């Protein structure tokens, strides 16, 4: 019986030691890749109806184009991504278009429009997510 307990303890120790290597590798990779990117908020605001918005720009090393994230949500709550862009077009600001719609102003036309319309849920979060990098149909 004693030998059985020692075997189980040794097996548990060996499995724990083997599990540490992939976990440590993942943590190291995450720290390395995250340190190569810098995020800054380029614009923020609050619309009528207590809708908050934020445009963030992420620049990563290696010459990759900047990544833009437009987040929208109820003021004081977590924001959800409404639109993303890699390089161009660049989102400039968010404005209210109606009771359940917002518009994201762009620095250049996308699919013929300089303002992209996004539907909102009743909670204030985005009902859809638009990839502004997607090719035009």
- Confirm whether 136 is domain-assigned: no
Question: Residue 22: which pLDDT band, with cuts at 50, 70 and 90?
Answer: confident
| Number of domains forming the structure of the chain | 2
For residues 24 and 75, membership in a common domain is answered with no
For residues 41 and 98, membership in a common domain is answered with yes
Comparing C-alpha atoms, which of 129, 102, 106 is closest to residue 47? 102
pLDDT at 135: 67
- Confirm whether 137 is domain-assigned: no
For residues 4 and 41, membership in a common domain is answered with no
pLDDT at 15: 85
pLDDT, tens digit, 9 for 90 and up, residues 56-111: 999 887 778 999 999 999 988 999 999 999 988 999 999 999 889 999 999 999 98
Q: Is the pTM of this model over 0.85?
A: no
d(CA 43, CA 105): 12
pLDDT at 137: 54
For residues 68 and 121, membership in a common domain is answered with yes
Token pair belonging to 52: 């908050």
Sheet holding 91-98, edge to edge: 91-98, 101-110, 113-119
For residues 41 and 31, membership in a common domain is answered with no
Q: Which residues form the domain of 10?
A: 1-35
Dihedral sign from CA coordinates of 23, 26, 29, 34: negative
Q: What is the DSSP letter of 90?
A: P
Q: What is the DSSP letter of 126?
A: B
The percentage of the chain sitting over the pLDDT mark of 90, rounded to a whole number, equals 48
For residues 14 and 48, membership in a common domain is answered with no
Comparing C-alpha atoms, which of 110, 73, 70, 120 is closest to residue 91? 70
């Amino acid at each position: 019986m004693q030998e059985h307990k020692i075997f189980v303890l040794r097996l548990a120790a060996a499995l724990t030691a083997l599990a540490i290597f992939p976990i440590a590798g993942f943590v190291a990779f995450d720290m390395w890749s995250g340190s190569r990117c810098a995020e800054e908020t380029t614009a923020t605001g609050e619309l009528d109806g207590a809708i908050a918005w934020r445009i963030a720009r992420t620049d990563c090393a290696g010459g990759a184009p900047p990544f833009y994230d437009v987040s929208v949500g109820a003021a004081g709550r977590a924001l959800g991504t409404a639109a993303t862009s890699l390089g161009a077009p660049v989102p400039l600001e968010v404005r209210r278009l109606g009771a359940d719609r917002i518009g994201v102003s762009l620095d250049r036309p996308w699919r013929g429009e300089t303002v992209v319309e996004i539907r909102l849920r009743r909670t204030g979060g985005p009902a859809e997510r638009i990839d502004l990098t997607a090719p035009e149909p």
